[in-house]
A and B are shown apart, each in its own frame.
Chain A
Amino acid sequence: MTRARRFVAEWAPAVLILVLGLVGWELAVKTFGIQKFLLPKPSEIATAFWDERSILWPAGWYTFTEAFWGFVVGVFFGIAAALVLARFRPLGSALMPYFVAASAIPIIAFAPIGNAWFGIEKGSKIFIAALLCFFPVLVNTLRGLTSVRPQQVELMRSYAAGNAAVFRRVRIPTSLPYVFTALKVASVLAMIGAIVGEYFGGSQQQLGIQIKNSAALFQFETAWAAILVACILGIAFYLAVALAEIATMRRYPSAERARR
């Protein structure tokens, strides 16, 4: 009972803001006669969200799978590259400037080229999503792997530990908070990469195409409903990663986290 009450007390303000925000939005559009192409009413978006559900959700799922596989590929290569560069430091320091420079590139600009390389269907979207995920994961993981205290390494050496044991027992556990920070960023970037990649063409079932075409056909409430689907899936993806983080950090708690 008390627990339920505390839960309500904790979330009530946020829910209240949401309700007030929606009501205010609805009223503002009505009173000021805002054009639909600028901003539809929430009630209209909700109607479209319901009426078009048989199109929007499959499209959302299609896009989500692109984002997911892009995430998997980008994270895999990001972590693998970080492990190699952490193991062979001279190579790492030789390549690092390029990676930092590359992470400043607007990677989304590669989307049309991705179409040429990986086809206009899922491949190019996965490519863009993967590329967007790769750099933050690489840079963060490498920072995590190399931020161990020198004494921890000396300690492991005093146990006759080789490099593999140092990685397994010190570097990797130390890097976990850094890795999860990157994974959360990557989950967001993957969705962005997939949707923006879709703006450059492809199958009709994609969410990005739905958004683009609805807007072109002046079905703005449908476009907004599609964006809402993208938001829900994006948040769900982020939360899934955050839950994985909590589960992992319970096994590998670090002092910084515990102090928070």
Chain B
Amino acid sequence: MTAAAVSIRNVTKTFGKGGTTALKNIELEFQPGEFISLIGPSGCGKSTLLRVIGDLIEPTEGEAVIGGKTAHQARLDRDYGMVFQEATLMDWRTVEKNVSLPLEMMGWDRGARRDRVRELLELVELTGFEGHHPWQLSGGMQQRVAIARALTFNPSLILMDEPFGALDEMTRDRLNLELLRIWEATKATVVFVTHSIAEAVFLSSRVVVMSARPGRVQKIVDVDLAYPRTNDTREETRFFELATEVRELLRESHEAREGA
């Protein structure tokens, strides 16, 4: 039996001594090739959970296991690529140099780097922008550069923290389609944090609905919409049903908290 892509075992994260509990006893398991969205109200710890998976935050209790390794080892082995809400590009580097940054750090030689960057820029449809600097690109294009960068070393896992949250809706819809195409091409596992119900349902094979204070898993919704998904998917009845289900779960958790 192959190891789960991500296995989160009883993870609790408390900030400060006796401070807020961001995550409480989280148990999750994602299989290789899944597209998982984490959705929930602000303060439900979804970004914290993503950082626990990426070994950028250490859990107070429990552990994250990535493909059978500790999260720490997986980070050292560069098993995942990360994309943030802000593109987080280095302003002083060109598009080409930004995408090749991880490869430079891995000691690839110049020729190999250039070939790989060309391949990736083609994948995110930014061929011809190699020499541009980040500030010369639109927000959507910057985010595509960030995605290309996360894919450079062909990670089996991609962690995305509201990558399209700062973009307008039309750009977001387009990038959603693009992301699905890339996901299908790379067969990577994606863990995707979002605030948008439509985005979560449209992209994911499963949606993890979380509730806040303390952050818990409220329910996991299986999204039984067929891939490849297209713009028409957004108009299917089943899409609306699932979006409604997620919305109601989020409302329930909200009301439960208000009532308490």
Which A residues are within 8 Å of any B CB, using their own CB? 149, 151-152, 154-155, 157-161, 165, 169-170, 173, 176, 251-255, 258-259
B135 touches A259 (CB 8 A): yes
Q: Which residue of A lies closest to B135 (CB)?
A: A255
> Which of B78, B101, B102, B133 is A253 in contact with, Cβ under 8 Å?
B133
Contact A170:B135 (CB < 8 A) given known A155-B84, A158-B80, A158-B82 = no
B92 touches A158 (CB 8 A): no
B78 touches A160 (CB 8 A): yes
B window 71-130: CB within 8 A of A: 75-78, 80-82, 84, 86, 88, 90-92, 101-102, 105
A158 touches B91 (CB 8 A): no
Q: Does B166 contact A (CB under 8 A)?
A: no
Q: How many residues of B contact A (CB 8 A)?
A: 24
A157: chain B residues within 8 A (beta carbon): 55-56, 75
Which B residues are within 8 Å of any A CB, using their own CB? 51, 54-56, 75-78, 80-82, 84, 86, 88, 90-92, 101-102, 105, 133-135, 159
Q: Give 14 pairs: A residue, B residue, CB < 8 Å, sorted on A.
A: A149-B86, A151-B88, A154-B51, A154-B84, A155-B88, A157-B75, A158-B78, A158-B80, A160-B75, A173-B92, A251-B92, A255-B133, A255-B135, A258-B135
B56: chain A residues within 8 A (beta carbon): 154, 157-158
**Residue of B55, B56, B75 contacting most chain A CB atoms (<10 Å):** B56
Contact A173:B90 (CB < 8 A) given known A161-B105, A253-B133, A255-B134 = yes
B101 touches A255 (CB 8 A): no
Closest 7 CB pairs of A and B: A252-B92, A255-B135, A158-B82, A255-B91, A151-B88, A160-B76, A254-B91
CA distance A154 to B88 in the complex (A): 10
CA distance A160 to B88 in the complex (A): 17
Beyond the given pairs A154-B56, A159-B101, A160-B77, 19 more chain A to chain B contacts, judged by CB atoms under 8 angstroms and listed by A's residue number, are A149-B88, A154-B51, A154-B84, A155-B82, A155-B88, A158-B56, A158-B78, A158-B81, A158-B159, A159-B105, A160-B75, A161-B105, A165-B105, A169-B90, A169-B105, A173-B90, A253-B91, A254-B92, A255-B134
CA distance A13 to B84 in the complex (A): 50
B135 to chain A, nearest CB (A): 4
A225 to chain B, nearest CB (A): 44
B180 to chain A, nearest CB (A): 23
CA distance A259 to B55 in the complex (A): 36
A149 to chain B, nearest CB (A): 7
CA distance A170 to B90 in the complex (A): 8
CA distance A251 to B84 in the complex (A): 26
B69 to chain A, nearest CB (A): 13
A156 to chain B, nearest CB (A): 8
Q: Which residue of A lies closest to B104 (CB)?
A: A169
Q: Which residue of B lies closest to A253 (CB)?
A: B92
CA distance A152 to B134 in the complex (A): 14
Q: Which residue of A lies closest to B54 (CB)?
A: A158
CA distance A111 to B133 in the complex (A): 48
B135 touches A159 (CB 8 A): no
CA distance A130 to B182 in the complex (A): 56
> Which of A152, A176, A253, A258 is B88 in contact with, Cβ under 8 Å?
A152
> Which of B75, B77, B90, B135 is A152 in contact with, Cβ under 8 Å?
B90
